A and B are shown apart, each in its own frame.
Chain A
Amino acid sequence: MPTYNLKINGKQITVTADPDTPLLWILRDELNLVGTKFGCGIAQCGACTVHVDGVATRSCQLQVALLDKEEITTIEGLSEAGDHPLQEAWKQVDVPQCGYCQAGQIMTAASFLKQNPNPTTQEIREAMHGNLCRCASYNRIEKAVAMAAEKMS
């Protein structure tokens, strides 16, 4: 099996894997970074969202062989002390119900706020539209993203 050098959460990591293995399963099964979740495997739910060079990307669609020098950030590496403004807002608003989708939601929101630091409500709703929350905690996700945006600007 080929080996790959990946840069994940600031660390250089070497993994051995079949070339078509999605990054999602490398993170979860090989590297114990289980904060990135599996929900659908076909880019429909957003539970597996990570950042590739700062851009929200579905790790279930990202074959390990296609990665080269990209910087990958997972929920575990979003902030050192778990205190990214979005994580703080998530706690303040008490967003999660079952919690399973939330890491993906936060990762999508983090990359979105980088591109659009002062979003309107409608822009937030559109940006977060790709992330499913089966528990439908949408009202609070919307509120928490808006709150974080305010704090960050």
Chain B
Amino acid sequence: MKTTKSNLAFSRRNFLKTSALAGGGMIIGFNLFTACKTEAKPSIDIENLNFNDFNAFIKIADNGYVTIFSPNPEIGQGVKTAMPMIIAEELDVEWDKVHVVQAKYNKKEYTRQVAGGSLSIRFGWDALRQTGATTKQMLINAAAVKWGVDAATCSASKGIITNANGETLGYGEVVKEASTLEVPENVKLKKPSEYTIIGTDAINVDLDKIVTGKPLFGLDYKAEGMSYASVLRPPAFGQKLESFDDTETKKVTGVTDVIKFGDKVAVLASNTWAAMKGKKAIKAIWSSDEKLESTENHDKELNDILDGNDFTIRREDGNVKKAFTEADKIVERTYDSPFLPHNCLEPMNFYADVTPEKIHLVGPIQTPQWTAGRVAKLLERKKEEIELEMTRMGGGFGRRLYGDFALEAAEVSNLAKKPVKVVFSREDDMTDGIYRPAIKYRIAASIKEGKITGYHLKEAAINSNMYDLIPNFFPAGCIPNYKVSTKSYKSDITTGAWRAPYTNFLAFAEQTFFDELAQELEKDPVELRLELLQNVKNTTDDKIEYSGQRMENTIKLAAEKSNWSENKDGVYKGFAAYYSHNTHVAEVAEIELKDGLPVVKKIIAAVDCGIIINPTGAINQIQGGVLDGIGHAMYGDLSFKNGKPSHRNFDTYRLIRMNETPEVEVHFVKNELSPTGLGEPGLPPAGGAVANAIHKALSKRLYKQPFIKELQNSKTEVLG
């Protein structure tokens, strides 16, 4: 059969559209945001579609060079590199002929470009492969039309199409034809064994710009006539602005406007320094109707919750009460965590230009669509009037999901009637945070005849409790009588997602608890985990989130690579394993003692994250997550007194630094399963692995973060 334009399969549901480019080459538009939803069923009318409905583009030039315009915000997770790699793999072009650019927003053809911060490799995997493969088929079809042969007799590899007679055409030579053909459907995807790009190291696509200091980040963005704004916000949560005096502010050279909005005051100036100086010079009087909150009250409230009986039951298997009544022994422990600020190294900032015609927003944001909607609502404008452009982000960790800074910028620009960039100082960033909430866990287990028969986890958290999937994580399904109960305490302090939400601390609590249970049962901690996992391997409960088999493989890999069962003089090892964000991770921490204090020397991490798109990026993510986990478990600490956070800047707030950093060795479980998350799952087990190693070294159990406080307290005890 000869391939003609009319007999190519065509799908109304397709999410691609092609067009020839005036200057040569073709462009393929696709809607990454729609396509990447799990239930992706684009409800768009392909015939009436124009390019405004797309947010991602592939351009194939007539010299065969491919440009992928990625709309995806880059937080540092490497998705800006990994996602195009998936397209390039199925499109079958050489990676060095691929150029990745952050799709610019302000060009006409890309209007209404937005993308969700939650887009991840996991959701993008199928859509991106389909996009690449469909485009490749389109090019093959075009070559077949040109040759007058059946497309089925042609193949393509590395940007070259070959027919049965051995004739070849480059992708660039058929783009003109391809752009006039219908979009094929049901294209064949490659088998993992056929991959030539996926699984190879591709360096970060912005690397050149990063090491030469080119503008990339939100803070680097500038626009004609823009003012810098520094915002004075209530110093304590729960306070309101009574009055203020800006006499001294107005004397600062460069300050142009002082604008009150809500309980805040924005100082606008011709440069950042003047804006910050002007803000400091404001004399404000604050008031509050209610008693301001302190960590002391929080502790009491959360302890009262744990001691009480008024919980929401999130999962219950068997009969926990009965198991506890019949037990030989019950082990119960309580774990304690502080608030944590995100401390992205690039402080929060956003640019807004609100005019009667439109609203232009630019900056680092993980949730552009949601934020644009909120700005529209705030200013009572139509969503269509908003253009939101994303920049690279100097860290996210969850903080840039919230968009409060974008709303501030929009509001200030609207009042000032000029383009404004709101810039947080470090103090603003740390004290006006949306923090990881302080949480307490109480875990109890019943033991009978050397077996764990019952398990009850209670959570008491500030503002909100663990999300629904978590009660189905390990050890759900491993212990016959199992229960998870939660309750929260409502607070004025703003809280939200922080890298690996909830599990960032829960994993520490559970994984140290299991270490204690192993000690109680006189079992090796690794053996105990493996034994328990046998119970979940053939589970029929489809609510169980993790895989017993994959967890077992991961644990065994970590044990093997760390020589778990061998002892080294002066080296103390601790073990932890945790499943989160669809990834199974096991970690072994090695510590040594120096002046009686533990020094973390090495972490051996085993990870099952399915197919690895970009190994160098994947290792970077796991290393970062592990070190972040150790750093915050060791030092992370934020409390409140009368509504005020205890730290304002890095002089007193301690983050992990190079000299405290162990080597992190990463090993991947090899399989051909769909790729899963990398940015977060390395973090949760790290604190537990370190705490368990510390117990080996000092026979001291840690129940509270940050560890450094606990260790210093006990060291003074020892020294007397």
- Are A and B subunits of one complex? yes
A residues contacting B by CB (< 8 A) are: 1, 18, 20-22, 25, 28-30, 32-42, 44-45, 47, 74-76, 82, 87, 90-91, 94, 96-103, 106, 125-126, 128-142
Residue of A nearest to B614 (CB): A94
Given contact pairs A35-B213, A75-B213, A134-B395, A44 touches B208 in the complex (Cβ within 8 A):
no
Choose from B208, B228, B273, B345 the contact partner of A134 (Cβ within 8 Å): B345
Contact A97 B658 (CB under 8 A): no
Contact A35 B212 (CB under 8 A): yes
Contact A98 B346 (CB under 8 A): yes
Residue of A nearest to B349 (CB): A38
Does B526 count as interface, using CB distance less than 8 angstroms? no
Contacts of B253 in A (CB 8 A): 1, 18
Q: Which of A91, A137, A139 has the most chain B CB atoms closer than 10 A to its own CB?
A: A139
Does B211 count as interface, using CB distance less than 8 angstroms? yes
Contact B212 A42 (CB under 8 A): no
Tell which of B19-27, B373-381, B446-454, B624-632 binds the partner. B624-632
Chain B residues 593-635 with CB under 8 Å of chain A are 616-617, 620-621, 623-624, 627-628, 631
Choose from B74, B222, B345, B624 the contact partner of A47 (Cβ within 8 Å): B345
Choose from B207, B213, B627, B663 the contact partner of A94 (Cβ within 8 Å): B207
A selection of 28 A-B contacts at a CB cut-off of 8 Å is A20-B277, A22-B273, A35-B213, A36-B213, A37-B217, A37-B346, A38-B219, A39-B650, A40-B426, A41-B426, A42-B649, A42-B651, A76-B212, A82-B208, A94-B201, A98-B394, A98-B396, A99-B392, A100-B395, A101-B345, A102-B211, A106-B211, A132-B657, A134-B344, A134-B345, A134-B397, A139-B664, A141-B658
A-B contact count (CB 8 A): 182
Given contact pairs A125-B659, A136-B661, A137-B623, A98 touches B425 in the complex (Cβ within 8 A):
no
Contact B211 A103 (CB under 8 A): yes
Contact B213 A126 (CB under 8 A): no
Contact residues of A: prevailing secondary structure: loop
Contacts of B259 in A (CB 8 A): none
Contact A99 B394 (CB under 8 A): yes
Choose from A45, A98, A131 the contact partner of B658 (Cβ within 8 Å): A131
Does B91 count as interface, using CB distance less than 8 angstroms? no
Number of B interface residues in the complex (CB < 8 A): 64
Contact B658 A100 (CB under 8 A): no
Since A20-B277, A138-B661, A139-B664 are in contact, a sample of 15 more A-B pairs with Cβ atoms closer than 8 Å, ordered by chain A residue number, is A29-B272, A33-B213, A42-B650, A75-B211, A75-B213, A90-B211, A91-B207, A94-B203, A96-B210, A100-B346, A106-B211, A129-B657, A134-B395, A135-B628, A136-B627
Residue of B nearest to A107 (CB): B213
Q: How far is the CB of A75 from chain B (nearest CB, A)?
A: 4
Contacts of B623 in A (CB 8 A): 136-137, 139-140
Choose from A22, A34, A136 the contact partner of B624 (Cβ within 8 Å): A136
Does B672 count as interface, using CB distance less than 8 angstroms? no
Contacts of B76 in A (CB 8 A): 96-99, 135
Contact B426 A82 (CB under 8 A): no
Does B215 count as interface, using CB distance less than 8 angstroms? yes
Report the separation of the CA atoms of residues A4 and B219 in the bound assembly, to the nearest whole angstrom: 25
Q: How far is the CB of A41 from chain B (nearest CB, A)?
A: 6
Residue of A nearest to B679 (CB): A97
Does B235 count as interface, using CB distance less than 8 angstroms? no
Contacts of A142 in B (CB 8 A): 658, 661
Choose from A20, A74, A75, A134 the contact partner of B343 (Cβ within 8 Å): A134
Interface membership of chain B positions 193-221, coded 1 if the CB is closer than 8 angstroms to chain A and 0 otherwise: 00000000101101110111111110110
Report the separation of the CA atoms of residues A21 and B220 in the bound assembly, to the nearest whole angstrom: 18
Does B655 count as interface, using CB distance less than 8 angstroms? yes
Contact B661 A98 (CB under 8 A): no
Contacts of A37 in B (CB 8 A): 217, 219, 345-346, 394
Contacts of A21 in B (CB 8 A): 271, 273
Q: Which 8 interchain pairs have the tightest Cβ spacing?
A: A35-B213, A98-B76, A100-B394, A75-B213, A136-B627, A44-B650, A99-B210, A97-B76
Contacts of A76 in B (CB 8 A): 212-213
Report the separation of the CA atoms of residues A98 and B80 in the bound assembly, to the nearest whole angstrom: 11
Does B347 count as interface, using CB distance less than 8 angstroms? yes
Does B656 count as interface, using CB distance less than 8 angstroms? yes
Does B305 count as interface, using CB distance less than 8 angstroms? no
Report the separation of the CA atoms of residues A138 and B201 in the bound assembly, to the nearest whole angstrom: 19
Does B480 count as interface, using CB distance less than 8 angstroms? no
Does B145 count as interface, using CB distance less than 8 angstroms? no
Q: How far is the CB of A122 from chain B (nearest CB, A)?
A: 9
Contact A97 B272 (CB under 8 A): no
Does B258 count as interface, using CB distance less than 8 angstroms? no
Q: How far is the CB of B383 from chain A (nearest CB, A)?
A: 29
Choose from B217, B254, B617, B621 the contact partner of A100 (Cβ within 8 Å): B217
Contacts of A40 in B (CB 8 A): 426, 649-650
Contact A44 B201 (CB under 8 A): no
Given contact pairs A42-B426, A94-B616, A96-B210, A139 touches B663 in the complex (Cβ within 8 A):
yes
Q: How far is the CB of B668 from chain A (nearest CB, A)?
A: 16
Contact A35 B214 (CB under 8 A): yes
Q: Which of B76, B210, B346, B657 has the most chain A CB atoms closer than 10 A to its own CB?
A: B210
Given contact pairs A35-B212, A40-B426, A137-B624, A29 touches B271 in the complex (Cβ within 8 A):
yes
